[in-house]
């Protein structure tokens, strides 16, 4: 089934324990710090039922049921293209600013569902659990958050020497009992379930075993609570004044497990560091996730480029050479990301159970480069916008006693004051506001520490030997040519000597 926005909103009214500003949230769909964001996600669900978009956003499963296209198990390049087009529609809807819209985890869990045999290595039932859970999510069109990282307590010590990280403290007939914390779970207040997965590499040791698990449970599970950072959404904010902050703050929370019972049927890995360490790479899930988030990056980069182009026209700076040069850098980013996505589809490789995996190399390029490219895109908006970014009154002013002043003095070269104000508030909210700051932080880190990812890329680059061999071969041929050259010179010298 594909849910409507209304069904999604109804599903959030349960016993979830969400804490913010020192108090427990009664209903995230009604609380002003959360409700507009919940409604923005509901809009995405409603798009699935729009007759103009339904065929692009959904597909029929083998059982003949309609499902969101982000759950498709891609069997060919064209399935990857269809999935990309679906993700792009949702991402364009939010200008790529909701990195954790439901498709992110849908693609993630589909990778895991397709590779269920990997989990069966730890025991047959774990493989079945992984597959059943994927089918359950697809059937019910749920929203997931996930949490991979242990709390930032003391990064110099292994996890088992700290007292904060979530660990398995007991096994019972009903399941495993987990106690401790995990950071971060973005989107948790707006999700139905939370996937608690391994990420950081663990030692393969007895000590590390209690930290090596993968499972997924409802947000409203007894003993599970979330503490949110303060909301970015200003209270009673007018959407025109805060176009992103007011509607798309997907929220970041710490997940605290207070002796939480995880039923066996929701456990995918139990106390197996080796399986945890290989989970994303060996299942091919990481390829699928990177394909999804590269599309998010494209939507985001295109939107920022659109804003830069519009600002340049609006205030008559598009003819200046340095402005054109700044914008050309943005075009390069857009086209690079677009090309990498396309290359990953064209060069897809076989994956588990008849699926295909988008090629990881172009996607790793996006994954490791975008954390540098995105802050530069934001900087360019600041450079081009200059003081225009703060020369913006609130929308109330347009109808206030000062309306005539605003109409006259806030106009642009090509647009009237109201349109200019609207455009520059969008530019502000993606380049200067708290929302913008959090987006930049998100792009630096959401997919892991860029330094360590860069190191891993170096260590695992599959063409390293081929390229070193090419250099050796060139050096060998150079030496051979040099030897022949020396021989020629020598024989010439001898000939000249004899002649003389
Ligand atoms: C806005 C936002 C949302 C996020 N949402 C989620 C989410 O929903 N789910 C989720 O699971 N994760 C989420 N993350 C977390 C993300 O996965 C981590 O930020 C990322 O993996 C880096 O880990 P860390 O933040 O713990 O940084 P740390 O590991 O604490 O690193 C801090 C600094 O120390 C350096 N450092 C630390 N350890 C080492 C080391 N061993 N070697 C070299 N350098 C080191 C790092 O390079 C970095 O500069 C989110 C992050 C952000 C910023």
Q: Which two tokens stand for residue 443?
A: 């792009």
Cα–Cα distance, 434 to 224 (Å, whole number): 28
pTM for the complete prediction? 0.96
Which atom belonging to ligand 1 lies closest to the Cα atom of 149?
11
Work out the average pLDDT over 3-13: 98
Site to probe by mutation for ligand 1, drawn from 195, 280, 446 as the one with most ligand atoms within 8 Å of Cβ, is 446
Residues in the chain: 500
> Which residue's CA is minimally distant from atom 16 of ligand 1?
446
Contacts of 408 (CB under 8 A, 6+ apart): 417
What confidence score (pLDDT) does residue 320 get?
98
Q: Is 137:73 a contact under the CB 8 Å cutoff? A: no
Which helix (H) or strand (E) segment holds residue 42: the answer is: helix 35-47
pLDDT tens digits, one per residue of 311-365? 999 999 999 999 999 999 999 999 999 999 999 999 999 999 999 999 999 999 9
Q: If you measure from the C-alpha of residue 252 to the centroid of ligand 1, how many angstroms do you get, rounded to a whole number? A: 13
Which atom belonging to ligand 1 lies closest to the Cα atom of 186?
8
CA dihedral 264, 266, 271, 277 (to 10 degrees): 160
Q: If you measure from the C-alpha of residue 253 to the centroid of ligand 1, how many angstroms do you get, rounded to a whole number? A: 14
Give the pLDDT band (50/70/90) at residue 117. very high
Q: If you measure from the C-alpha of residue 449 to the centroid of ligand 1, how many angstroms do you get, rounded to a whole number? A: 5
pLDDT tens digits, one per residue of 233-269? 777 889 999 999 999 999 999 999 999 999 999 999 9
Cα–Cα distance, 291 to 370 (Å, whole number): 13
Q: Is 149:183 a contact under the CB 8 Å cutoff? A: yes
> Which residue's CA is minimally distant from atom 13 of ligand 1?
184
| Burial class, 257, CB count within 10 angstroms (exposed 0-12 / middle 13-18 / buried 19+) | buried
Contacts of 63 (CB under 8 A, 6+ apart): none
| DSSP letter, residue 218 | E
What confidence score (pLDDT) does residue 499 get?
64
Site to probe by mutation for ligand 1, drawn from 108, 143, 149 as the one with most ligand atoms within 8 Å of Cβ, is 149
CB atoms within 10 A of CB 447: 19
Q: Is 442 near ligand 1, meaning CB less than 6 Å away?
A: yes
Cα–Cα distance, 112 to 198 (Å, whole number): 13
CA dihedral 273, 275, 278, 283 (to 10 degrees): -160
Cα–Cα distance, 165 to 153 (Å, whole number): 9
Interior angle at CA 453, CA 250 and CA 269, nearest 5: 70
Contacts of 478 (CB under 8 A, 6+ apart): none
Give the pLDDT band (50/70/90) at residue 162. confident
Q: Is 364 near ligand 1, meaning CB less than 6 Å away?
A: no
What confidence score (pLDDT) does residue 500 get?
61
Q: Is 155 near ligand 1, meaning CB less than 6 Å away?
A: yes
The overall average pLDDT reported for the chain is 96
Q: Is 320 near ligand 1, meaning CB less than 6 Å away?
A: no
Q: If you measure from the C-alpha of residue 448 to the centroid of ligand 1, how many angstroms do you get, rounded to a whole number? A: 6
CB atoms within 10 A of CB 364: 21
Contacts of 277 (CB under 8 A, 6+ apart): 198, 201, 202, 204, 212
Q: Is 455 near ligand 1, meaning CB less than 6 Å away?
A: no
Q: Which two tokens stand for residue 207?
A: 């000590």
Interior angle at CA 33, CA 30 and CA 39, nearest 5: 55
Q: Is 175:266 a contact under the CB 8 Å cutoff? A: yes
Work out the average pLDDT over 83-107: 98
Q: Is 158 near ligand 1, meaning CB less than 6 Å away?
A: no
Contacts of 363 (CB under 8 A, 6+ apart): 287, 290, 291, 294, 340, 341, 344
Q: Is 448 near ligand 1, meaning CB less than 6 Å away?
A: yes
pLDDT tens digits, one per residue of 201-235? 888 999 999 999 999 999 999 999 999 999 997 77
Give the pLDDT band (50/70/90) at residue 272. very high
Q: Report CA Rg, the chain.
A: 27
- Give first-to-last CA distance, the chain, whole Å: 97
The DSSP string of 172-202 is -SSEEEEEEEEEEEETGGG-SEEEE---S--
């Amino acid at each position: 089934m594909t849910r409507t926005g209304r069904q999604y909103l109804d599903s959030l009214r349960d016993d979830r324990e969400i804490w913010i500003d020192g108090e427990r949230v009664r209903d995230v769909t009604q609380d002003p710090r959360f409700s507009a964001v919940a409604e923005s996600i509901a809009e995405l669900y409603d798009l699935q039922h729009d007759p103009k978009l339904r065929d692009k956003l959904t597909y029929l499963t083998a059982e003949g049921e309609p499902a969101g296209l982000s759950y498709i198990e891609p069997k060919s390049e064209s399935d990857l293209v269809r999935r990309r087009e679906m993700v792009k529609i949702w991402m364009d809807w939010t200008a790529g600013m909701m990195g954790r819209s439901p498709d992110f985890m849908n693609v993630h869990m589909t990778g895991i569902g397709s590779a269920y045999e990997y989990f069966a290595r730890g025991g047959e039932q774990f493989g079945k659990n992984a597959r059943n859970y994927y089918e359950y999510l697809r059937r019910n069109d749920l929203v997931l958050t996930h949490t991979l990282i242990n709390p930032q307590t003391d990064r110099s010590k292994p996890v088992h020497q700290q007292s904060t990280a979530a660990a398995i403290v007991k096994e019972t007939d009903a399941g495993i009992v987990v106690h401790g914390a995990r950071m971060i779970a973005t989107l948790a207040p707006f999700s139905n379930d939370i996937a608690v997965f391994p990420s950081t590499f663990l030692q393969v040791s007895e000590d590390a075993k209690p930290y090596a698990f993968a499972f997924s449970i409802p947000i409203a599970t007894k003993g599970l609570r979330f503490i949110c950072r303060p909301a970015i959404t200003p209270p009673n904010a007018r959407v025109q004044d805060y176009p992103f902050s007011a509607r798309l703050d997907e929220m970041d929370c710490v997940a605290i497990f207070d002796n939480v019972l995880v039923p066996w049927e929701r456990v995918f890995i139990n106390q197996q560091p080796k399986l945890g360490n290989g989970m994303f790479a060996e299942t091919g899930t990481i390829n699928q996730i990177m394909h999804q988030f590269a599309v998010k990056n494209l939507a985001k980069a295109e939107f920022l480029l659109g804003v830069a182009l519009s600002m340049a026209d609006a205030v008559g700076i598009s003819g200046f050479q340095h402005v054109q040069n700044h914008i050309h850098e943005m075009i390069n980013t857009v086209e690079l990301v677009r090309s990498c996505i396309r290359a990953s589809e064209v060069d897809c490789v076989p994956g588990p159970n008849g699926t295909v995996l988008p090629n990881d190399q172009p996607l790793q390029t996006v994954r490791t480069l975008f954390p540098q490219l995105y802050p530069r895109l934001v900087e360019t908006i600041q450079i081009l916008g200059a003081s225009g970014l703060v020369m913006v009154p609130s929308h109330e002013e347009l109808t206030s006693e000062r309306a005539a002043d605003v109409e006259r003095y806030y106009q642009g070269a090509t647009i009237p004051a109201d349109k200019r104000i609207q455009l520059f508030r969008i530019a502000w909210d993606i380049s200067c506001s708290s929302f913008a700051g959090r987006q930049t932080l998100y792009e630096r880190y959401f997919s892991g520490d860029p330094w360590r990812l860069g190191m891993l890329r170096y260590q695992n680059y599959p063409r390293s030997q081929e390229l070193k061999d090419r250099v050796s071969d060139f050096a060998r041929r150079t030496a051979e040519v040099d030897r022949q050259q020396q021989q020629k010179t020598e024989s010439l010298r001898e000939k000249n000597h004899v002649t003389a």
